[in-house]
Every structure is written in structure tokens, then in C-alpha cells.
Amino acid sequence: MAKPKRMSEIFTSSSDKNASTALPTTTPPYSSEGPTLPIVGIAKKSNVQQVDAKTSKKRKAQDQSSNTVTTNSPPTVHPSLYTPWILLPVELLKLLESQTRLRGTQNVIPIVFTKNQNVKTGINRLKMLLGVSPNTASTIETRDAMNHKDLVIAISAQGDGTTKLVGIVDMTRRIVASGNSDEKAGKEIETWLMYTVLTSIKAERRAKNKTKEVEDTQETQEEEAFEPMEIDKQEDTDKNVEMRKVPVLTVWMTKKRIPEFRDAFGEQSFQVQRHEDLD
């Protein structure tokens, strides 16, 4: 017959049995698989680095664009058209200046037309200078020059503007001489002389370097190891500058004949019908 167990032994054996059958509670090993919480400090640092990189590239592109040598496009109208007498042959100009026939802006009114010139505005201005319409000159120099008996009107245009000049001058000549003999009877008729001079000027023509533009675009997207010097950019710009000849047409109008112009360029005449209220 088995020896009866004590209560303490029964409890002890029961606790040992439960301990042996229970699963061991161990900490699961770290695994990179599956969702994990980001480390706040590192995420912030990564975002800051990305923003700094974008800002650096943007600032680099802005600095590069600001440091680029900008080449101004050639002016629409060459300055010499506002002083057309300097485009005349040197010997002829010296002769006319010695005779005081051409005295610069004292008796020469320069007018410049472009290819975008408004036809009606151009005709009205010529009519005013020819004495067909009231004097609405906006400058004192123009009003003073119109008072000289040897007044000379110099109308100039360059390149494509020469076609517009010829059209405006031709229409003006027809308008100022319009009217039949009965209408002309009570009005003063003046004879104006016209000399057409063809010269030329030198203007800049810049050739676009497409390869250089592509390289510049790539450089703004990627960081460079070094920046080109300003002198290199200037030399590259100078290589793209070409000079070309541009034709200039000047029509000289005056009431007093200029024999030197007639011998060199030929002479034409047209009539101008002045209004009574302008006499």
C-alpha cells in the first residue's frame, strides 16, 4: 500500500508540472521584415538633407543664370539714322558743310521709319512738315528748323523698313498734290525737290549656339565640379557675334535745290498744295 502524500508535496508537484508544460516566454528576435516604427530623429535628418539638396540645386541654377553674360540684342533702329548726314560720302558731306547747305539739326529734320511704322501717322507727319497741315511739331528744334528757307527733311529707314518708307513717301506725294486745277487756283503751289540716297550700316547678328544651350541645361540639373570663369563666358559670347551690312534708304526733301545731290544721286520734283490758313 502506497504511502499517502502530504498536502505540501501535492502542491509542489502540481506547480512543477505546470511550469514544465507552460510555453517559455522569450523575447522575439528583431526582424527587419514587416512594419516598423521610424526613428524620429533620423527621419527628420533625412528630410532636411533632401530639402537642402533641392534648395542647393535651385540656388545653383539661379546663381548660374544671374552670372551668365547677357548679350543685349541689337537696337531696332541704328543711331546713325537720326543723323543721316554722317552716312553721306565724306567728301560730299565736307563740301555741303563748307557751303553751310547742311547744318545738322539747325536746318535738317530727321525722320526715321521702321517696318512697323503706322502708315497714316507717317503721312500726317510728312504733311505737317511740308506745310499742308498745321504745325504740330513737338520739339523746339523742329519748329525752328521749319522756319529756315533752306529746310531739308531727311526720311530714313533700314532693312525691311525701306519698303514701308517708299510706300509712305509715294502716298504722301500724291496726297499733297491732289485736287483739280479749279481747286488749285486759290491756293499756293510749291515745288519740292527730292533726292534718294542708298547707303548701308554695320549691325550685329548673333548666332545661337544650340550645343551650348543644351550643356547649360544639363549643368543646372547636375552639380558641377567647378564653375567656368567669367572671361571664358565673354570669349564664347564674342565668338557668336557677327557683323552684317544693312541697307539704309534716305529720302531728302527740300524746296531749295542741292546741285551736289542732283549730280550724285539724281533729282525728282513734286508739287505741294498749301492750305490758305497756313499762308
19-43 pLDDT, tens digit per residue, is 555 455 555 555 545 555 555 555 5
pLDDT confidence tier of residue 244, bands split at 50, 70 and 90:
confident
Structural domains in the chain, CATH included, are: 79-204+241-273 (3.30.110.20)
At 200 the pLDDT is 93
* DSSP class per residue in the chain: -PPPPPHHHHHHHHHHHHHHHSPP--PPPP-SSS--PPPHHHHHHHHHHHHHHHHHHHHHHHHHHHHS-PPPPPPSS-GGGGSGGGGS-HHHHHHHHHTTS--GGGTEEEEE--TT--HHHHHHHHHHHTTSS----SSHHHHHHHTSTT-EEEEEEETTHHHHHHHHHHHHHHHHT-S-HHHHHTS-EEEEEEEEEEEEEEEEEEPP-HHHHHHHHHHHHS--SSPPPHHHHHHHHHHTEEEEEEEEEEEEEESS--HHHHHHH--EEEEEE--GGG-
pLDDT at 225 over 80: no
Percent of all residues in the chain with a pLDDT value above 90, rounded to a whole number: 41
Q: Averaged over 219-225, what is the pLDDT? A: 52
Mean pLDDT is highest, among 32-41, 177-186, 198-207, 211-220, for 198-207
pLDDT at 2 over 70: no
* pTM of structure: 0.62
251-261 pLDDT, tens digit per residue, is 999 999 999 99
Percent of all residues in the chain with a pLDDT value above 70, rounded to a whole number: 54
At 105 the pLDDT is 85
pLDDT at 238 over 60: no
Q: Averaged over 110-127, what is the pLDDT? A: 95
pLDDT at 157 over 90: yes
What is the residue-averaged pLDDT of the chain? 75
pLDDT at 211 over 80: no
Q: Averaged over 160-167, what is the pLDDT? A: 96
